[in-house]
Amino acid sequence: MKNIKEAPFLQEITRLTSNMYRLGWDERNGGNVSYLVSEEELKDYIDFSVIRTLPLNFHAPELAGKIYLVTGTGCYFKNMELFPETNLGLIRITEDGDNAELLWGYEDGGKPTSELPSHLMGHIERLKIDPEQRIVIHCHPTNTIAMTLTEDLDEKEFSKKLWRANTECIVVFPEGVGVLPWQLCGTIQIGIDTSKKMKDYRTVIWANHGIFGTGKTVDEAFGLIETVEKTAQVFMIARPNGILNTITDAQLKELTDAFGVTDQVKEGWLG
């Protein structure tokens, strides 16, 4: 068997988590990632034997047999690159959808992030829309959280404030962003409510907490979060001085027409 630490998918995730830590988006043990890995990608690195079985605490038969690389509960993103074998785990969802089989990782006796239900529910919903869906990223970007403290949490209004502040936003997320009012984290309920939002949005913001980004690639999901956070930063810098100039609805329509995303904008959001 090859050294799994050299596997491209593992290196990609450890680079991602280290980068998010350096950006200040994942303080302490904040944030979590889940990434769908194929058996083809794994066959040279593990023998697929089950180390132990972990309860999912919810029913996910839609994901039976799928294997996810998942960050561990209580783990620090700054340690992922150095010690992936304790901070990450490969889990396979059992056929009944009630448990996960650990195939590699969590060598210190650890287990997946407490937000695993939210992640897997998100995967279920996004796979219905995009069969190539592979990744869910949750992190705590500073300016996005700050914006939930000062702005109305109505999705249309929140999305349009981002669109109006930065030209690329409506092109990157023409469907807008989902927004959830504060809820207790790590619960089944917040997973249910987040996954409902993911029927319409690839990005969901948790007020006073953080953001979820999804996609078929690491770059796509990270890029969504990166664009929201950069724009939230611009908005929060400008806000105290008074915002004089924004992109108009007519100009937003020009952008969506030019980039071929008009049909992804919700009806009535551009006047």
Q: Which residues are catalytic?
A: 115
- Location of structure tokens 């409902």: 196
Rg (CA), the chain: 19
**Residue 132 to residue 141: CA distance in whole angstroms:** 26
What residues have CB less than 8 Å from 139, skipping those under 6 apart?
20, 25, 26, 30, 31, 210, 211, 225
**124 burial type by CB count under 10 A (0-12 exposed, 13-18 middle, 19+ buried):** middle
Which residues lie across from 89 on neighbouring strands? 70, 105
How many of the other CB atoms lie within 10 Å of CB of 209?
Answer: 17
Which residues lie across from 210 on neighbouring strands? 206
Which residues lie across from 234 on neighbouring strands? none
